[in-house]
Amino acid sequence: MENKVFNPVLVISEKLGDYPAEKKMHLLSVILPNILMDFHKVLLKAPSGVITSEEYKLDDGSMSIVLEGINERKGPAGCRIVSADVKKG
């Protein structure tokens, strides 16, 4: 049985598509790690077993990153992201 781990960075990277290379690298290396850290804090505060979503809009208004996750049990190890999406514009 294959155990797949959801990778939000890979999913977001693929969804950026034709986004300019320099901006894409900045987003993936600087902005996205901060978004993921913030979302992890959101999940830690969320009730156990409840799907939580958050939308993060970029300052330039070019896109939003939408994350969904669940706190399966209290504590950092119980939090996981279940979906990631990019909304342009």
The alpha carbon dihedral of 44, 50, 67, 57 has a sign of negative
**What is the mean predicted confidence (pLDDT) over 51-56?**
96
pLDDT at 2 over 60: no
**What is the mean predicted confidence (pLDDT) over 35-52?**
93
Prediction pTM value:
0.88
Query: In angstroms, rounded to a whole number, what is the distance separating the alpha carbons of residues 40 and 74?
Result: 12
Tokens of 5: 């781990």
Taking phi first (over 0 means left), then psi (-120 to 50 degrees means alpha), and beta for anything else, what does residue 19 get? beta
Query: In angstroms, rounded to a whole number, what is the distance separating the alpha carbons of residues 50 and 28?
Result: 27
Residue 18 has what pLDDT? 85
Residue 1 has what pLDDT? 46
% of the chain residues with pLDDT over 70 = 92
Query: In angstroms, rounded to a whole number, what is the distance separating the alpha carbons of residues 47 and 70?
Result: 9
**What is the mean predicted confidence (pLDDT) over 35-47?**
94
pLDDT at 29 over 60: yes
- 70 or 76: whose pLDDT is higher? 70
